[in-house]
Amino acid sequence: MTHFMRKRRSRDNRKQFLKGTKTRAVIVAQALEIAAAEGLAALTIGRLAKELKMSKSGLFAHFRSKEALELATVELARTVFANHILVPAERGQPGLEKLWNLCDFWLQHIEDHVFRGAYFFAGAFFERGRQRGAVARQIKAAARDWLEALEQAAKEAQKRKEINRDVYADETATELNGLLQGGYWAHLMGQWGALDWAREKVLERLEALATDEVPSTSFKSVKAFQKYLRWKYA
């Protein structure tokens, strides 16, 4: 084989690889659209092939099993969640600001309809939380990542003397997550202002945990608290 032929074959292989990678990304994106709206149970090779106007065999070539498709879908959901909540929260100051931002960004991603229909991980967790297998492990790992982010932010706030030392950070994470989930449930049931209510409840909880280092006036409203954070970390 000549040098020219080897170079041409290498270029063709690269094009084929890039095409396959792009097709796979399109498939997983559509899978997430379905799963976020209807749950992982609604995700099938046949349905995806029909919606994407692909053959089942062509789609099956990218994902040899439903489990592989589900794993890729959950992994994409974790990336989307991180990009809209975990990563932006890291750009602020550690401690109380980060703890607030995590909650605020979580509610904002609901308001912005980042996931189609329902919040993806809430449905996936209740659907698969008690099951075994790779998909269930991925979903539970995503839930742990979220709770650990809240817990770590609470611990950082304690180190900065913004939250009382006798507070249990893991319990705080669970409580804040419960307030967010409760607000989201109310939102889904059509309760007007439910997400704003959730922000107010988070603020109330932070006020109960805060030390005297944080002025009590900063907890009068969400706007007052955001203003305080901007002033403190300007």
- Look at residues 214, 203, 207 and name the one whose alpha carbon lies nearest to residue 162: 214
What angle separates helix 66-81 from helix 120-128, to the nearest 10 degrees? 140
Calculate what percentage of the chain has a pLDDT beyond 70: 90
Q: 113 by DSSP, 3-state: which?
A: coil
Does residue 86 surpass a pLDDT of 70? yes
- Within 189-221, where are the H helices? 194-209
Beta bridge partners of 25: none
pLDDT value at position 7?
Answer: 47
The 10s digit of each residue's pLDDT in 193-217 is 999 999 999 999 999 999 999 999 9
**CA torsion angle for 71, 73, 75, 80 (degrees, to 10)?**
-170
Which residues 6+ apart lie within 8 Å of 120 measured at CB? 32, 35, 36, 77, 81
Look at residue 62 and give its three-state secondary structure. Answer: coil
The answer to whether residues 94 and 114 touch, using CB atoms and an 8 Å cutoff, is: no
What DSSP character marks residue 102? H
- Report residue 183's pLDDT band, with 50, 70 and 90 as the boundaries: very high
Q: Structure tokens of 49?
A: 């092939």
Question: Are 59 and 45 contacting, i.e. CB atoms less than 8 angstroms apart?
Answer: yes
pLDDT at 19 over 90: no
Could you give all domains of the chain from N- to C-terminal order, each with its CATH number? Answer: 3-232 (1.10.357.10)
HSE-CB at 39 with a 13 A cutoff on CA atoms is 9
pLDDT, tens only, 103-145: 999 999 999 988 876 678 877 888 877 788 898 899 899 999 9
Q: Each residue of 34-49: pLDDT tens digit?
A: 888 888 888 888 888 8
Tokens of 98: 């980060």
Question: Taking 80 as the threshold, does the pLDDT of residue 5 lie above it?
Answer: no
